[in-house]
Structure 1
Amino acid sequence: MVETLTGTNRSKGITYDELLDMDTHQVPPRFREDSPMPAGPTIVNPSIYYSRDFFDLEVERLWKKVWQMACHEDDIPNVGDSHVYDIANLSFIIVRTAPDEIKAFPNACLHRGRALLTEDAKGVHEFRCPFHGWGWKIDGKLKEVPCQWDFPTVSEKTHSLPPVKVGRWGGWVFINPDDNAEPFEDFLGDIDRHFQPIPFERRYKAVHVAKKLRCNWKVAQEAFMEAYHVVATHPTLLDVMGDANSKYDVFGNLSRAISPNGMLSPHVNPALVAEPLEGAKTYAKVRHALSGNVYERLGEDRVKVTARDGRTGIFDHAAHHIEGELDHADIQLCDWVGGRLPEGWEEEIDPTTTGPVPERRKAMADQMREQWRESLGDEVDEISDAEFVDTIYYNLFPNISPWGCFDPIFYRFRPNGDNPEECIHEIMFMLPVAKGQPRPAPAPVHWLDFDDDYCDAPELGMLAKVFNQDVVNLPHVQKGMKSIKSKEIVFANYGETKIRHFHKLLNEHLSR
């Protein structure tokens, strides 16, 4: 049965500090830091997710005035390499002007506004407008104006490309279009201490997938900022994650969640998941951790569901009933079992360890240590179980989510052009390299359109199935918000701390 009231201010089960006390290695002190937000409520009007006026306000007071990640240094490794960064209706050029110098400019000809670049470019020597031929050196200085005699007020002094502020952290390139922006170092605060023992300087972009979604960028981002949704959206995680026992903290422009793994969700009946499931397979035959119903793949878009009382039903991957006495099924497990599967996944056996929590976490950590030993050597022996096992995910305002320790995930969320009800979800895997070794070349972007499946990007591995679970809700959230009669969305005091923190900072920016 799903946990509801507990009579305390937290969910049932072990606390995160108690889990850390069981660790077989020394745990970094930052894991025990408590920096929660004051209690709410935080209430927002749902129109901020679809209003044209609000979207335009974000452009003027957020995207034109906030530090934001534009690209990775490795995307522009050589002098003249240029990256086009688009955000809402704005466009910027990020260019390497010297071996260790990067500059940024608005992506617009100063004559009639034509975009100077429409895509990334390698080794450019100038920015030449294709419309009338005005040209600039890559450092932004005006180089040439055809018939310059006809423009007596135009000179290098007056019409060089205006520079945009640039900051660099961990191999990432940030920009801020505001000439009066706060110093980049002040914006980041003491962020570096959170990304040990493998800082981003020691990671490379092994995967980069960008998926278009039919929802506002905030709707998408907020879906990945808390573990509260796991109980309904990710039933396949309930026997491995203490979702409702997650820890949330805020630090300046940074927020953090730590979701403990190697334990049961407090929502789950331990006796139910302990029952053996004959022929269980990770993606083809699973038991719902709450209902106990078994979902078995009959083929793509066909799932047999067997209830604990013996009733059965056949459903498609979207949980539409096809036949049988059982006429209701969980959409998430129907898609997990009956949706797209890369070749060979139907036969994959779940490697999840079982047993008491300390032994389970140690086994998971030891497995990860050996996995990374080949590339990182004995360095892995100094790292705690928590750093290997737990899901540690940060958000740096306004729109990136770098994950901590050995989890390679790095998200970015941004509007899809000028449409308030579309966005782009970017997934990057930042893998570590051994000390002293150079970063390999970054992966190119693999674009997925609105109706593409995340499984169309096999480089995502099993996370493709998890992302499918996440985004099936989002267009329905976008639609449903317009029907909320109260015009209020309320966020949980603790479990949605990161979302509350985001809206606090967003309101501060938009109120300036």
Structure 2
Amino acid sequence: MAESDPKIKAPPQITGEPLPRCPGTSYRDLALADTNEVPEFLYQDVYENLGSEPIPATRYTDPTFFELEKEKMWPKVWQFAAREEELPEPGDYVVYENVGKSFILMRQEDGSIKAFYNVCLHRGRKLKLEDGWTAELQCPFHGFTWNNDGSLKNIPCRWDFSHLSDQKMQLPEVSVGRWGGYIFIREAKEGPTIEEFLAPMPEHFKRWKHEECATALWVGKVIPANWKVVMEAFMESWHTVVTHPQLLPFTGDANSMYNIYGDHVNLTVTPFGTMSPHIDPEGKEQQWIVDEFVKYNGRSSDNYEDKEAAAGGFAVTVPEGVTARAALGESLRETTTRMFGHDVSFASDSEMMDALLYNAFPNWSPWAGFQPNIVYRWRPWHDVDHCLMEVRILTRVPPGQEAPKAPAMHFLTDDEKWTAATEIGILGDVFEQDMENLPFVQQGLKSSANGEVQLANYQEIQIRQFQNTLMKYIEA
């Protein structure tokens, strides 16, 4: 569609020379043909040409670099630590741990949340080992006790600690940021607010309101690969053609749009309900696209309709002259409104089916739109060669109902595959396909002859943005 078309309201914001794109239908073309209006920011190109320099392989394999991340990056960034529904009542707490440090997030009587270092100020024992509820924070070693607001309550044998004042024994706090139902912590006292750090996500998500959602399921597994290796696999869609071939009939993998916003946020928009440009369209009907979507898409609301979905009850018939995207969008609007009680009749086809994946530096990635939303988090796991990958699904809380307390994470053992988490359905098969690559990426990086990682200029631009931001912290 020509740039002079009056329907085009969002001109590109590109710094430097525009980068080549996959020939054929663009995401903008699909957005402008949508049944309902698509938010402009979902089809507006926003990126900067970041060049073509390789990434040193040692950033993924070197224990010294891993230590630099722990020292210079992690304490200075906002880290997604919990969801509001994990600690709904005063006295509820969550233990959040990362790169050798442990924190307690505690719901206060006034509904606010405080976060403390999970350390007894006497001899250093962890105060809590797992999530729960408590009327006080008492150390299991000698019984030093604090109130839930961090103030000192009791020192056993106080006569022997005349050198310790109540003020000195206040539990040290870390900064807390709350947005969209998510709770973040940051060790550094100074820095951008959580809204500034995540911009433009707070503005974009006013439409999707994750504060109206709750965690429906939560699965985690330790992966034998560096946290950046695993996370970066979810920053681009074009590996679908080889790694996830079953998705190609309804996934425009190479038609994806990759936006970057400053240092900390990017957005991948991958269209569903349209064939991959890697597939020969000859003889392929719109109904075939829909049928493949229903079989292999693991995120849409039909997968959460329990008995009906289990019985294969979700079906979409494409009328004559209607596209697969339009037929799926209409069906998903109706299904979502019926299941979750939120009227989404205004929503675009894009917001009902496409992969709208935001990445927030350094390790948190929520999907957007009006379907049940995937939320990823990756954390280093003890050393440079392992990480914990977590997958949540958020669903909308029906109007007038209280959000249910979040379930505990289903922690898969080393010998369990993602498919053992039957609650995530077909997504388990997709993640297993990723696992056929990622441990061997880590092994390969250690054997690299030239010590370099090469990136695509456009389709992997978000990885380059991430790496550039990481180095700003390391070199500061």
Do both proteins adopt the same fold according to a TM-score greater than 0.5, normalized to the shorter chain?
yes
2:202 counterpart residue number: 192
Cα separation, 2, equivalents of 1:170 and 1:30: 19
Letter in 2 for 1:432: R
Unmatched tracts of structure 1, length 5 or more: 1-7, 287-344
Letter in 2 for 1:212: V
- Matched-pair contact (CA < 8 Å) for 1:73–1:171: yes
For 1:167-187, what per-residue CA distance to the aligned partner results, in whole angstroms no more than 9, with x for missing partners?
101111100011223333321
Cα separation, 1, equivalents of 2:190 and 2:48: 29
Among candidates 200, 203, 206, match of residue 216 of structure 2: 206
Question: How many pairs were matched up?
Answer: 444
2:28 counterpart residue number: 17
State whether structure 2 residue 403 is matched by structure 1 residue 439. Answer: yes
Q: CA deviation at 1:376?
A: 5.1
- Matched-pair contact (CA < 8 Å) for 1:241–1:260: yes
Cα separation, 2, equivalents of 1:503 and 1:476: 21
- Matched-pair contact (CA < 8 Å) for 2:57–2:453: yes
1:88 counterpart residue number: 99
For 1:255-310, what per-residue CA distance to the aligned partner results, in whole angstroms no more than 9, with x for missing partners?
00001112221112223867x99xx99999x9xxxxxxxxxxxxxxxxxxxxxxxx
Cα separation, 2, equivalents of 1:370 and 1:480: 47
Among candidates 438, 444, 458, match of residue 480 of structure 1: 444
Letter in 2 for 1:468: E
- Matched-pair contact (CA < 8 Å) for 1:214–1:450: no
State whether structure 2 residue 24 is matched by structure 1 residue 60. Answer: no
2:15 counterpart residue number: none
2:128 counterpart residue number: 117
Q: CA deviation at 1:209?
A: 0.7
2:378 counterpart residue number: 413
Letter in 2 for 1:181: G
- After superposition, residues 313-392 of structure 1 pair within 5 angstroms as 359-375=323-339, 379-392=343-356
Among candidates 348, 361, 365, match of residue 397 of structure 1: 361
Question: Given the superposition, is the C-alpha separation of residues 18 and 281 from structure 1 closer, same or farther in structure 2, using an over 3 Å criterion?
Answer: closer
Of stretches 422-431 and 189-198 in structure 1, the one that deviates more from structure 2 is 189-198
Among candidates 178, 196, 203, match of residue 168 of structure 1: 178
- Matched-pair contact (CA < 8 Å) for 1:208–1:446: yes
Question: Given the superposition, is the C-alpha separation of residues 188 and 484 from structure 1 closer, same or farther in structure 2, using an over 3 Å criterion?
Answer: same
- After superposition, residues 132-151 of structure 1 pair within 5 angstroms as 132-151=142-161
Cα separation, 2, equivalents of 1:233 and 1:353: 29
State whether structure 2 residue 390 is matched by structure 1 residue 451. Answer: no
Among candidates 254, 257, 265, match of residue 244 of structure 1: 254
Of stretches 30-39 and 51-60 in structure 1, the one that deviates more from structure 2 is 30-39
- Matched-pair contact (CA < 8 Å) for 1:164–1:178: yes
- Matched-pair contact (CA < 8 Å) for 2:179–2:194: no
Cα separation, 1, equivalents of 2:386 and 2:401: 40
Q: CA deviation at 1:379?
A: 2.5
Letter in 2 for 1:199: K
Task: Report the RMSD for the aligned CA atoms in angstroms.
Answer: 2.8
Q: CA deviation at 1:364?
A: 1.0
Q: CA deviation at 1:43?
A: 2.4
Letter in 1 for 2:437: N
- Matched-pair contact (CA < 8 Å) for 1:198–1:432: no
Question: Given the superposition, is the C-alpha separation of residues 472 and 357 from structure 1 closer, same or farther in structure 2, using an over 3 Å criterion?
Answer: farther
1:156 counterpart residue number: 166
1:180 counterpart residue number: 190
1:260 counterpart residue number: 271
1:505 counterpart residue number: 469
Question: Given the superposition, is the C-alpha separation of residues 141 and 377 from structure 1 closer, same or farther in structure 2, using an over 3 Å criterion?
Answer: closer
1:128 counterpart residue number: 138
Q: CA deviation at 1:151?
A: 2.7
1:330 counterpart residue number: none
- Matched-pair contact (CA < 8 Å) for 1:262–1:389: yes
Cα separation, 2, equivalents of 1:140 and 1:445: 27
Question: Given the superposition, is the C-alpha separation of residues 376 and 193 from structure 1 closer, same or farther in structure 2, using an over 3 Å criterion?
Answer: farther
Cα separation, 1, equivalents of 2:55 and 2:72: 18
- The percentage of aligned residue pairs carrying the same residue is 39
- Matched-pair contact (CA < 8 Å) for 1:238–1:265: yes
For 1:316-350, what per-residue CA distance to the aligned partner results, in whole angstroms no more than 9, with x for missing partners?
xxxxxxxxxxxxxxxxxxxxxxxxxxxxx999799
Letter in 2 for 1:159: M
2:10 counterpart residue number: none
Question: Given the superposition, is the C-alpha separation of residues 387 and 196 from structure 1 closer, same or farther in structure 2, using an over 3 Å criterion?
Answer: farther
Cα separation, 2, equivalents of 1:359 and 1:98: 53
Question: Given the superposition, is the C-alpha separation of residues 19 and 126 from structure 1 closer, same or farther in structure 2, using an over 3 Å criterion?
Answer: same
Unmatched tracts of structure 2, length 5 or more: 1-18, 297-308
How does the TM-score come out when normalised to structure 2?
A: 0.87
Question: Given the superposition, is the C-alpha separation of residues 404 and 282 from structure 1 closer, same or farther in structure 2, using an over 3 Å criterion?
Answer: closer
Letter in 2 for 1:369: R
